[in-house]
């Protein structure tokens, strides 16, 4: 891996914000290969150097797992000639080998896992595992009164596709808009938008807030990412919300 600034490395390892880790480094709490390093701009090779904070070694894991708060307007792809991509939100020195787990539409925001662990990605996306996905959506138009029951029973889409049982909850009802939470245990193309359309609404804003047992960190701004903690990695591998 190319050499990178010490403060940047520690921030990517979730030791704190860039500002916070700079203060930690300046106050002498960080050692590189056993020697205190007080310069946040010092260059280190994450593969070669041992970096410790308060004596605890902060290593890159063999595999990398990031939580990204995907902003609207970027596509879930590694590279694209015309559009900004989710991988483009990562600095070049981290990007190599990374890919997004599953896909969110260009206009969808929220929780996206970016990793270099193909086995984990496969397990999370496997239709047989039914890992839950929770979305919050702003919807225009009047939803059918029996929409939640139809979601729970296994909704038929306009093209004849039948969805697995899902959950629809109304969070808030405004004059023109309804805020809803949708919980699925599968991931068909444009599934939330198509399910909402089948019960009379139009999704005007969509955000994924949970995947398996892992919830999007509310403090992570749109467009930002950070490494998962060990606890979060374990939560991600749980099936999440049970439906019926
Ligand atoms: N359902 C959709 O319609 N779009 C997404 O991006 C994810 C789920």
**Active site (annotated) includes residue 107:** no
Q: How remote is the CA of residue 207 from the centroid of ligand 1, in Å?
A: 8
Of the candidates 64, 63, 108, the one whose C-alpha atom is nearest the C-alpha of residue 86 is 108
> The pTM is what?
0.78
Query: Looking at residue 239, what is its pLDDT?
Result: 72
What is the Cα–Cα distance from 185 to 191, expressed in whole angstroms? 11
Residue nearest to atom 4 of ligand 1 (CA): 190
Given a contact cutoff of 8 angstroms between Cβ atoms, the answer to whether 164 and 235 are in contact is no
Task: Locate the ligand 1 atom nearest the alpha carbon of residue 184 and give its number.
Answer: 8
What is the Cα–Cα distance from 28 to 37, expressed in whole angstroms? 7
Instruction: Please list the pLDDT of the chain residue by residue as tens digits (244 residues).
Output: 678 899 998 888 778 888 999 999 999 999 998 899 999 999 998 778 888 888 877 765 668 899 999 999 999 987 778 889 999 999 887 888 899 999 999 999 999 999 999 999 998 988 888 899 999 999 999 999 999 999 999 999 989 999 999 999 999 998 889 999 999 999 999 999 999 999 999 999 999 999 999 999 999 999 999 989 888 988 988 877 777 6
Q: Is 114 close to ligand 1, i.e. is its CB under 6 Å away?
A: no
Q: Is 105 close to ligand 1, i.e. is its CB under 6 Å away?
A: yes
What is the DSSP track for 143-162?
PPTTHHHHHHH-PBPTTS-B
- The structural domains of the chain, ordered by start, are 4-57 (3.10.290.10), 65-127+214-236 (3.30.70.580), 133-211 (3.30.70.1560)
| Ligand 1 mutation pick, 72, 110, 192, max ligand atoms within 8 A of CB | 192
């Amino acid at each position: 891996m190319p050499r990178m600034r010490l403060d940047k490395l520690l921030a990517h390892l979730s030791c704190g914000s860039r500002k916070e880790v700079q203060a930690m480094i300046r106050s002498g709490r960080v050692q590189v290969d056993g020697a205190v390093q007080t310069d946040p701009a010092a260059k280190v090779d994450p593969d070669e150097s041992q970096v410790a904070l308060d004596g605890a070694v902060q290593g890159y894991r063999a595999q990398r797992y990031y939580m990204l708060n995907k902003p609207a307007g970027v596509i879930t792809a590694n590279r694209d000639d015309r559009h900004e991509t989710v991988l483009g939100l990562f600095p070049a020195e981290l990007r190599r080998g990374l890919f997004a787990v599953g896909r969110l539409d260009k206009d969808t925001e929220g929780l996206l896992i970016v990793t270099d662990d193909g086995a984990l990605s496969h397990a999370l996306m496997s239709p047989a595992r039914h890992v839950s996905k929770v979305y919050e959506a702003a919807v225009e138009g009047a939803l059918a009164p029996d929409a939640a029951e139809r979601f729970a029973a296994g909704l038929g889409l306009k093209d004849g596709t039948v969805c697995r049982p899902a959950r629809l909850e109304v969070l808030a009802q405004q004059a023109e808009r309804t805020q809803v939470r949708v919980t699925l245990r599968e991931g068909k193309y444009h599934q939330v938008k198509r399910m909402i359309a089948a019960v009379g609404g139009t999704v005007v804003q969509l955000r994924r807030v949970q995947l398996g047992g892992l919830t999007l960190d509310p403090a992570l701004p749109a467009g930002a990412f950070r490494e998962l903690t060990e606890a979060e990695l374990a939560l991600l591998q749980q099936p999440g919300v049970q439906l019926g």
